[in-house]
Amino acid sequence: MLKTLLLCLSILFVSLVQVSYGAKKVIFISFDGFRHDYLDMAEKEGRNISAFKAIREQGFQAEVQNVMLTLTFPSHYAMATGRTVENHGLVGNNFFDPRYGLAYNYKKNEKNIQSWWFEFGGAEPIWNTNERHGGRSCVVQWVGSEARVHNRLAFATAGVYNMAYSLFNRIDRMLDWLLQPEFNLCMLYFNEPDSAGHSYGPNSSQVMDAVELTNEGVSYLLQRIDQIPELKDNVNIIISSDHGMAYTDCNTQTVNLSHVMDKDVFRFDSSPATLGLWPKNGTNLTEEDFLKRFDNIEHITAYLRKDIPDRYHYKNNRRIAPIFVVADQGWLISTRDSPYVDLCKLHLPLCRFFTSNMKVISALSDGMHGYDNANPEMHPFMVAAGPDIQNFKERQLFHQIDLYPFICALLGLDKPNRIDGLIDRTIPFMKNPPNETFLAKFRNYAGGIITP
């Protein structure tokens, strides 16, 4: 009788610990292109970063090791799915899928909400994982949130991306949902300071203005939470970004590859920092022959897909082009007949030129990303605080693909999708980490030993 009673009490205690740990809500915000040292730069200039400092002082600040490619769409879907780019399948802002013979173009999101773009290898965004466990998710303008993934949408979304929504409008919309007791996860995306970084460069006053704008939004968020009894002391806040930003000079740091391109031979998947090349069917040239065209061209590195460095986790996917070219940091790849130096004379802060079939993409800008994710300038920032989040005075390192398991642990979601992120790396960041029963179960699902 005593053994039975003790067993029941033990089970009840474990259950209560788990329920209390997952009882708090999570807000996850991404500010596009927010480099890991922007807060330091802003503080040195006397800019207002009071809201970010408040979160940092109550929780922690981290430099984020992000995924390759260091572009908006691959990085945001890595945060959402906990997978590296080769495993979640959104391999660029623009890319080609040879199985379907179709190209994905991030500028045409109304035409690219088909489920199969986002379901590669069974990838599952965290908002779906949460709802699979019985929670409710609200997602404001996040990459992939407008698509039905595995026949499931987040319970509340803001629809197809629209830049007209101000940061404050997005925050209000998110909080309106989060006030409803059944919602426990809300995610929000905002395009600054990325836009300012592209237009004026990472060292510009305009970027610092954008940092202050995001701080105003975070300050507004904290004030509203503090005024709402249902949310005060009941929300874990995570703010991060997809990538950093490097200085570029289109007058002096452009690699013009138009002379080695053949429109009848190549299909281009491109950003100003990278280039994917697809030899067309029927050509007599081998991929090795194409690769030789890039011999002795400075400030770029060209790879056959099979030879792309393992550390990129960017080779084992049919959507990755057979030939991959990446520019040295700060250099821009031009595939136009006119080099960037001619375009610079226009003095436009940011111009992108697209052909209708996406074979050529060029850009004019003072800041760019997409470069090697080992470069610190490509690393984004992170601040986080809340009732379940540990406090650190020293700057931390956080892995981008660990955001998925971190949020799962905070919400008490013990049956994740198969992921590349590691929950064990997130344990030090939690005040009361999940118990070993939870962790063992989580690892089995995360490793694909058990499937949801």
pLDDT in tens, 174-184: 999 999 999 99
pLDDT computed for residue 160 by the predictor: 73
Which of the pair, 446 or 281, is modelled with greater confidence?
446
Phi (first) and psi of residue 4, to 5 degrees: -65, -45
pLDDT computed for residue 280 by the predictor: 78
CA distances from 253 to 18, 250, 273, 338, 365 (A): 54, 5, 11, 14, 11
Comparing 69-78, 159-168, 208-217, 389-398, which segment has the lowest mean pLDDT? 159-168
What is the mean pLDDT of the segment spanning 82-111?
90
Beta bridge partners, 385, equal 237
Q: Is 20 helix (H, G, I), strand (E, B) or coil?
A: helix
Judge whether residue 361 has pLDDT over 60: no
Among left, alpha and beta (phi > 0; psi -120 to 50; other), residue 46 is left
The domain ranges of the chain are: 24-247+375-446, 254-365
Residue 367 CB: number of other CB atoms within 10 A? 27
Percentage of residues in the chain having pLDDT higher than 90:
70
Distance, CA of 169 to CA of 149 (rounded, Å): 26
Which CATH architecture group holds 254-365? 2-Layer Sandwich (3.30)
Domain pair 24-247+375-446 / 254-365, same fold: no
Q: Across all residues in the chain, what is the average pLDDT?
A: 88
Q: Determine the topology of domain 24-247+375-446 in CATH.
A: Alkaline Phosphatase, subunit A (3.40.720)
Distance, CA of 398 to CA of 176 (rounded, Å): 30
pLDDT computed for residue 22 by the predictor: 58
Model confidence band, residue 415 (pLDDT cutoffs 50, 70, 90): very high
Instruction: Tell me the per-residue pLDDT of 240-277, one tens digit each, with 9 for 90 and over.
Output: 999 999 999 888 899 988 888 776 667 778 789 999 99
Structure tokens at 238: 């995570």
pLDDT computed for residue 451 by the predictor: 85
Instruction: Tell me the per-residue pLDDT of 121-154, one tens digit each, with 9 for 90 and over.
Output: 999 999 999 999 999 999 999 999 988 899 888 8
Element (H, E) at 333: strand 332-334
Phi (first) and psi of residue 244, to 5 degrees: -95, -145
What is the mean pLDDT of the segment spanning 20-47?
92
Judge whether residue 76 has pLDDT over 90: yes
pTM over 0.95: no
